[in-house]
Structure formats: structure tokens, C-alpha cells
């Protein structure tokens, strides 16, 4: 008789415990989800030239999928800079990254894009044909890594300098992704999380992506 | 007796008429004022290359201070284009125009800026020293017209391409104001009426304006 009661009591306690645990998990998940959904849209302007700072911690953390590891010991300053902010926004991609860049030679940004590709982010790159084969260009490296790249055929420049992260965040401005520009030029980059602007730039990207499809190249000899 | 009554009646009618007239004027002014204050902020993205359209009507209307005059008879199309939209936004300036442009050689945009200066808009231009003396640059023309222009001293490029209209509207993107870029390149220009973005770009303009002040030029011989 007493044993039965103790058993029932034990089972009830376990059930209540499990229910509370589940409830706690659900509330936590919901709060996190709502916080992510309802955080204010990102709005920032980055001005360049950027201070030269160490970005190793950022890139290593991305590679290891964790928080930044122990401080790097190189002699560069380790604070935030316009370049590190830009890198963080690019590295925040989880599912897709569209790049539409006149010139792309900065090694840190190149490594960031490469890492995202390795981690399963769908990366597509559009660039200008005149600049993609220059010394230091990242385009060849990205192609070798298996990233899809398309380019114009030389009539006018593909002069855009924008990126779209997860089809939600637009990164656009005057900055070509070159170290020369990042460290020496007066430049601006807008970070905009706004459905309308993102939609318009994504449509432009898709237009260009189709137009630059290699099946449309006219410099290949026509099949007979 | 009757004459007095008629006189009073007449005076009353005139007073009522005047009051109604004044009221009508005030209501009209208020409606117009409120509409201007409460119209939604402008948000637009212009993509280039722009169709080549005739912009004479726009520029002539600005010169004459009225609505577009009778249609121009030139063989160009007369509809809207990205260039005509950009011109309209620039020409909407009433009090001030800050230009921060790497390269500025398009004649239509040059005429627009010149007209605004003639009409009393305070125009200030910042540009890059390497490009301002090139063939076709508008910078010399604007300077001759009495517009203040400042430029960098050659360390890195002044690579911005933005304009601020009446300290309220930001025009920024990848587009240099050259006919080559307008007619041939893939480019974008954002039109943003947003206090925060405008403030940040205005602060950047003022920083550059002070930094490029001719009293700071180091290529002049030092006085002893």
C-alpha cells in the first residue's frame, strides 16, 4: 500500500519535473526566437580608410565555430575597425551570400568568403572581367575553391560594390574590396536591413547573374 | 436711414468676403505645408546604365523657374530615365547642396549644379585631385562660376560618390558622375531621406571639408 503511494508520488514528481524542464526549454527557445525576430533592423555606416587592426581572432573563431579564441599576439591593434565591422557583417551569413564587386583583392575578406563557402553557405560572385585576373585578385582563389563566379563581357564596367547576406541584409557603398581602398581611401559602406532595398538589389543581382551566364558569352566560337 | 443700412450691409458683406478669402488662403497654405511636412520620406534606388533620354526640358524648367516648357524636338526619347530621376533629385535643392565626388564630368549634372548655384543654393564640392583636371571634368567650370571646391592632396583617393540635398536627402552609391558610367556601367544610386544616415554623411563631409582646407596644403612652400 505505502509502496504504491511512494511509487505514484515518485512518478508524479518525475512527470512534473519533466514538464517544467520542457516548459523552461520552450520558453527559452521562444524568447531567443522572438529576440532574434524583433531585434531592431541593423543600420550602420562604415567610413574608410579603416584603422589597420588584427582580424585573426574573428576569422579563427569563424573557422572553429566558436567565440574568439585567446588574443592573437601580433603587434597590430586588436580593437574594432571599419574593416572588422565589415568582416563581422559578412561572416554573419548562415545560408546565402551574393557578392557583386567591381574589384575584390583584400585577403581577409577573401578568407571570410572562402570560410562561408566551406561551411555550406551558398556563395555567388559577380565581378568585372577587367579586374578579376589582376595581381592579388581573390577571384581565382574563390573559383578554385568551387565558388560560382560570373563576369561581364567587357561592355562598360560591372561597377557595383554590394553584398547581400541571407537575403536580408544589404552591404553597399563606394568601397571596392581591396586593401588599397580599405586602408587609404575615403570610402563609405552602408549596412541596411530593409526589405525593399534588399529586394531591389537582389533583383538586380539576379538580372546580372542571368545576363552574365556563360552560355550567353559571345566570345566563344559559335557551334555550327 | 436706408442709405446707412445699405452702407452697413455693404461693409459687412465686404468684411465677410475678405474674412472668407483670408480663411481660404490660410487653409490652402496649411494643407500645402502639412502635405510637404508629412509626405512619406523619399526612398528609391536608381540602377544604371541609364537609358539616354533628353533632359533639356528639366534643365530649362529649372532655369526659368517654372513647369517644363513645350516638348524639346530633339530625336532623343523624352521619357524618364535613371539620369533624369537623379537630375530631378539634385535640382530639388532649395538651400544647400554638398557634393563629395571622386569624378564629375557629366555635362547635364554639371549644368544642374551650376544653375542651383546661380539661384542662390549654397553649393560646396569635394573631389579627388587626380581626376579634377582631366578632360571633360566639370570641376574647372564650377570653380570659374564661383562655386567652392576643395580636394585631397593625393594620399589615397577621395573615392566617395555622394550628395546631400538641403541637409535632408542623401544621394549615394557606386556611380561617379561621368557620362561613361551613366550610359555604360552597371551602377546603383540610393536616394535616402533618413535623418540618421544624412547626419552621418554630413559629418563625414564636414570632416573632409576641414581636412581639405587649402590652408592645410603641405605642397605650398612654408612661410618663414
**Backbone torsions φ then ψ of B107, nearest 5 degrees:** -65, -35
End-to-end CA distance of chain A: 94
The whole-number pLDDT of residue A116 equals 97
- Nearest partner of A204 among A194, A193, A212, judged by Cα: A212
User: Which set of grid coordinates corresponds to residue B210?
Assistant: 576641414
Is B184 close to A158, i.e. CB distance below 8 A?
no
Which residue of A150, A151, A156 is the best one to mutate when testing the B interface, meaning the one whose CB has the most B CBs within 10 A?
Answer: A156
The whole-number pLDDT of residue A175 equals 98
The whole-number pLDDT of residue B224 equals 47
Least confident of B6-15, B106-115, B132-141, B183-192: B6-15
- Nearest partner of A128 among B170, B143, B181, B121, judged by Cα: B181
CA triplet A9, A15, A18: central angle to 5 degrees?
A: 140
Q: What is the mean pLDDT of residues A9-36?
A: 81
Are B192 and B198 spatial neighbours (Cβ–Cβ below 8 Å)?
yes
pLDDT tens column, B65-121: 766 656 688 889 988 999 999 999 999 999 999 999 999 999 999 999 999 999 999
Report percent pLDDT > 90 for chain A: 62
Which DSSP symbol is given to A158? B
Non-local CB neighbours of A160 within 8 Å, separated by 6+ positions: A100, A101, A102, A126, A172, A204, A208, B174, B186, B187, B188
Q: What is the mean pLDDT of residues B18-31?
A: 84
Catalytic residues of B: 159, 161, 166
Looking at the predicted structure, is the pLDDT value of residue A67 above 80? no
The whole-number pLDDT of residue B64 equals 83
Looking at the predicted structure, is the pLDDT value of residue A28 above 50? yes
Q: Which residue has the higher pLDDT, B216 or B149?
A: B149
DSSP-derived secondary structure for A70-116? SPP-SSS--S--HHHHHHHHHHT-SSEEEEEES-B--HHHHHHHHHH
Are B66 and B119 spatial neighbours (Cβ–Cβ below 8 Å)?
no
Is A186 close to B43, i.e. CB distance below 8 A?
no
Chain A closest-CA separation from residue B160 CA (Å): 5
Q: Which chain B residues are within 8 Å of A49, Cβ to Cβ?
A: 156
Per-residue confidence at B27, pLDDT binned at 50, 70, 90?
confident
The whole-number pLDDT of residue B217 equals 79
pLDDT, mean over chain B: 90
Is B204 close to A49, i.e. CB distance below 8 A?
no
Are B177 and B109 spatial neighbours (Cβ–Cβ below 8 Å)?
yes
Which residue of B103, B162, B173, B205 is the best one to mutate when testing the A interface, meaning the one whose CB has the most A CBs within 10 A?
Answer: B173
Looking at the predicted structure, is the pLDDT value of residue A181 above 90? yes
Quickly tell me which residue has 446707412 as its cell: B4
Are A12 and A159 spatial neighbours (Cβ–Cβ below 8 Å)?
no
Q: What is the C-alpha to C-alpha distance for residues A131 and B114, in angstroms, rounded to an integer?
A: 35
Residue B34, judged by CB atoms within 10 A of its CB (0-12, 13-18, 19+), counts as exposed
Per-residue confidence at A1, pLDDT binned at 50, 70, 90?
low
Is A187 close to B159, i.e. CB distance below 8 A?
yes
Looking at the predicted structure, is the pLDDT value of residue B44 above 60? yes
- On the CB side of A150, CA atoms within 13 Å amount to 18
Q: Which chain A residues are within 8 Å of B162, Cβ to Cβ?
A: 174, 188
Q: Which chain A residues are within 8 Å of B196, Cβ to Cβ?
A: 43
Looking at the predicted structure, is the pLDDT value of residue A223 above 90? no
Is B161 close to A174, i.e. CB distance below 8 A?
yes
pLDDT tens column, B148-160: 999 988 779 999 9
Q: Which chain A residues are within 8 Å of B160, Cβ to Cβ?
A: 174, 186-188
Alpha helices (H) along chain A: 2-38, 56-64, 82-91, 107-118, 139-144, 179-184, 195-211
pLDDT tens column, A114-156: 999 999 999 999 999 988 888 889 999 999 999 999 998 877 9
Looking at the predicted structure, is the pLDDT value of residue B178 above 60? yes
The whole-number pLDDT of residue B223 equals 54
Q: Chain B residues contacting A, CB < 8 Å? A: 43, 45, 47, 49, 102, 152, 155-162, 172-175, 180-181, 183-188, 190, 196-197, 200-201, 204, 208
Chain A closest-CA separation from residue B34 CA (Å): 26
Is B186 close to A157, i.e. CB distance below 8 A?
yes
Q: Which chain A residues are within 8 Å of B159, Cβ to Cβ?
A: 174-175, 181, 185-187
Are B137 and B177 spatial neighbours (Cβ–Cβ below 8 Å)?
no
Catalytic residues of A: 159, 161, 166
User: Which set of grid coordinates corresponds to residue A102?
Assistant: 567591381
Is A201 close to B187, i.e. CB distance below 8 A?
no
**Domain locations in chain A as residue ranges:** 1-39, 43-216
Are B103 and B179 spatial neighbours (Cβ–Cβ below 8 Å)?
no
Is A200 close to B45, i.e. CB distance below 8 A?
yes
pLDDT tens column, A171-180: 999 999 999 9
Per-residue confidence at A15, pLDDT binned at 50, 70, 90?
confident
Among A49, A159, A201, select the one facing B185 at the smallest CB separation: A159
Are A153 and A218 spatial neighbours (Cβ–Cβ below 8 Å)?
yes
Q: Which chain B residues are within 8 Å of A200, Cβ to Cβ?
A: 45
- Bridge partners of A188, per DSSP, are A47
Q: Which chain B residues are within 8 Å of A102, Cβ to Cβ?
A: 174
Which DSSP symbol is given to B186? B
The whole-number pLDDT of residue A64 equals 83
C-beta neighbour count of B154 within 10 angstroms: 11
The whole-number pLDDT of residue B12 equals 87
The whole-number pLDDT of residue B15 equals 86
Which DSSP symbol is given to A122? E
Q: What is the C-alpha to C-alpha distance for residues B143 and A117, in angstroms, rounded to an integer?
A: 50
Q: Which residue has the higher pLDDT, B129 or B166?
A: B166
Non-local CB neighbours of A151 within 8 Å, separated by 6+ positions: A126, A127, A128, A129, A132, A158, A212
C-beta neighbour count of A115 within 10 angstroms: 18
Q: Chain A residues contacting B, CB < 8 Å? A: 43, 45, 47, 49, 102, 152, 155-162, 172-175, 180-181, 183-188, 190, 196-197, 200-201, 204, 208
Pick the CATH number of B43-216 from 3.30.870.10, 3.30.420.40, 3.30.70.600, 3.40.50.300: 3.30.870.10
The whole-number pLDDT of residue B1 equals 61
Report percent pLDDT > 70 for chain A: 92
Amino acid at each position: 500500500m505505502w509502496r504504491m503511494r511512494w511509487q505514484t508520488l515518485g512518478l508524479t514528481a518525475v512527470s512534473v519535473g519533466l514538464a517544467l524542464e520542457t516548459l523552461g526549454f520552450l520558453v527559452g527557445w521562444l524568447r531567443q526566437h522572438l529576440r532574434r525576430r524583433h531585434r531592431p533592423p541593423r543600420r550602420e555606416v562604415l567610413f574608410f580608410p579603416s584603422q589597420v587592426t588584427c582580424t585573426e581572432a574573428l576569422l579563427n573563431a569563424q573557422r572553429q565555430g566558436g567565440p574568439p579564441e585567446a588574443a592573437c599576439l601580433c603587434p597590430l591593434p586588436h580593437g574594432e575597425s571599419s574593416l572588422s565591422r565589415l568582416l563581422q557583417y559578412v561572416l554573419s551569413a548562415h545560408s546565402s551570400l551574393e557578392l557583386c564587386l567591381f574589384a575584390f583583392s583584400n585577403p581577409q575578406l577573401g578568407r571570410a568568403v572562402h570560410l562561408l563557402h566551406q561551411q555550406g553557405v551558398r556563395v555567388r560572385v559577380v565581378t568585372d572581367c577587367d579586374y578579376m585576373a589582376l595581381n592579388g585578385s581573390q577571384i581565382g582563389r574563390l573559383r578554385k575553391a568551387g565558388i560560382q563566379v560570373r563576369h561581364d563581357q567587357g561592355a562598360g564596367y560591372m561597377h557595383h560594390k554590394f553584398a547581400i547576406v541571407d537575403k536580408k541584409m544589404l552591404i553597399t557603398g563606394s568601397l571596392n574590396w581591396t586593401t588599397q581602398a580599405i586602408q587609404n581611401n575615403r570610402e563609405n559602406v552602408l549596412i541596411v536591413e530593409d526589405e525593399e532595398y534588399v529586394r531591389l538589389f537582389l533583383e538586380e543581382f539576379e538580372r546580372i547573374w542571368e545576363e552574365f551566364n556563360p552560355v550567353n558569352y559571345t566570345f566563344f566560337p559559335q557551334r555550327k
